[in-house]
Structures are given as C-alpha cells and as structure tokens.
Structure 1
C-alpha cells in the first residue's frame, strides 16, 4: 500500500502556490487561476482601514489591469500547516509590481487536488 506522506502533500501545496506566484510575477491571471477554487474569496484592509474584497475574480481583474510583469519579484513560502484535507499557508512577496505583500491562504484537498479556497492579505507600506 502506498499512501501519501506529509512531504508529498507539502510539495503538492507548494506547486499550487507556485502557480499563484508565477501569475503575479507575469501579471497574468490565467497562470494563477487554476490554483483557486471557482468559489474562492479574497479579502484585505484598504488605506481607510475598511474591509475590501469578495469573489476571487476581483484578484484576477486587478492582476490583469493594474499589475505589470515583475521578473525581479521575490516570494517565499514561509509556512504551511496541513491537517488531513485542510491546509493553510503564508507567502511573503517583495517587489511585485512595486508592492510588498504578506498573503495567507486556506486550501482544501478536493477530489485529490489541493485548491485555494480563500486568500487574505496585508499590503506593506
């Protein structure tokens, strides 16, 4: 019997997060879109300390219309926690279209595949 190990699950999650990172670097939502559930959400706090966000399509629209390719952007997956079919992850990104972010993701393993179901973020000033 060959059952998945923590390392295999961890590596599978890293691959999903790489899709997100690469889409941001290239400013192309079609690269990151497969990493997300169609029902995923995104939320953050704007400059007036108000909650902003909603359906993940808002992220895709922003990536395609506001962001510019950032080949020098650096991202680090700083944490992944896994419990069965649920996981959370943190990514810190510098110089992504001139911004620095800390992103927190919630993922679920649905039909054998890890998918991002929610993202919250902090934009560093």
Structure 2
C-alpha cells in the first residue's frame, strides 16, 4: 500500500510541476511586444513597405550595419547609407499602390535575455520568400534599438 501511495504522490508532484511550468508567465512578453512594434515600424515599414527613412533612423542604432560575407571578409553596410538610399528611392520612384512594394513578414522567433534580443524574421514579396533576417537588438536607456543584421537571400 505504501508503495502505491508513493507512486501516486510522485505522479501528482510531476503533474503539478509540469502544470506550473506550462502556466509560468512569459517574463519577456512585454519586451517581445516592444521589439515587434519597433521592427514593424522601423524595419518592415521603414525599410520596405513605407520607405520611411526617419523611422529607420529612430529604430536602428547609429552604429548599426548589415553584415554579409564578401569572400572570406565581412562586408558592412551602415544604416546611414541604407536610410539615405531608402529616402532617395521614396523621392524618386515609390508608388505605395504598386504590389512589388508590399512586403509580408513572419516573426519566426524572438529571443530576449535581459537587455539583449535576437529576432528571426522572414520577408515575403509577391508570394515568394525573399529574405530570412537575423536582427540583433540591445536595450538602451532610451529603449530597444536594432544594432546588427545578418541575412540569407532565398
């Protein structure tokens, strides 16, 4: 009888601890929402859908760069050059009604640890998966900022 009672107690403890783990609130939920909003405003809409260079400059840290391989070296594309190019494109040939200017996105993952975060976001254009981007963010006194990007073009 004692043996059965121990088994039942063990099952109850395991079930309770499993339930507690499942119901544990996401401590980083608020940070994830802030990060999503920043990326939607500064990146998805700033760099792609609305071509809003000012939103880019607010959401990206001034030392931000896109890092990509160039042979065995690393190529760096700074935010100033990118945002200036976005502003120029909007001034020259941007038509918001043109479907090629409509980018869809999917947040594949958002990982937050303290004041650091990593976001994997997939961008689609005209129904095709074009980019998988990895955005690194840091939280400063003024809030979250995007500090680096590496990507894969499909």
Pairwise same-fold verdict (TM > 0.5): yes
The structural deviation recorded for 1:29 is 1.8
- The superposition leaves residues 3-53 of structure 1 with CA deviations (integer Å, 9 ceiling, x where unpaired) of xx311111011011111101111223222221111121212246x786432
Q: Distance in 2 between matches of 1:63 and 1:102?
A: 20
Q: Counterpart in 2 of 1:30?
A: 54
> Does the alignment pair 1:111 with 2:113?
no
Q: Paired residues, what number?
A: 119
Deviating above 3 A after TM superposition, structure 1's stretches of 4 or more consecutive aligned residues are 48-51, 64-71
RMSD: 2.8
2:80 to 57, 68, 71: 57
If each structure's helix is expressed as a fraction of its own residues, which one has the higher value?
2
Q: Which runs of 5+ in 2 are unaligned?
A: 1-26
Q: Distance in 2 between matches of 1:63 and 1:92?
A: 20
The structural deviation recorded for 1:103 is 1.2
TM-score under structure 1 normalisation? 0.78
1:79 to 102, 106, 109: 109
Query: Whose radius of gyration is greater, 1 or 2?
Result: 2
Q: Distance in 2 between matches of 1:8 and 1:56?
A: 27
2:121 to 88, 91, 112: 91
Q: Which runs of 5+ in 1 are unaligned?
A: none
Which structure has more RCO (C-alpha within 8 Å, separation ≥ 6)?
A: 1
Q: Does the aligned pair in 1 maintain the 2:57–2:79 contact within 8 Å?
A: no
Q: Counterpart in 2 of 1:120?
A: 150
Per mean C-alpha deviation after superposition, the further-off stretch among 82-91 and 70-79 is 70-79
- The superposition leaves residues 48-88 of structure 1 with CA deviations (integer Å, 9 ceiling, x where unpaired) of 78643242223213333457455532111111111000011
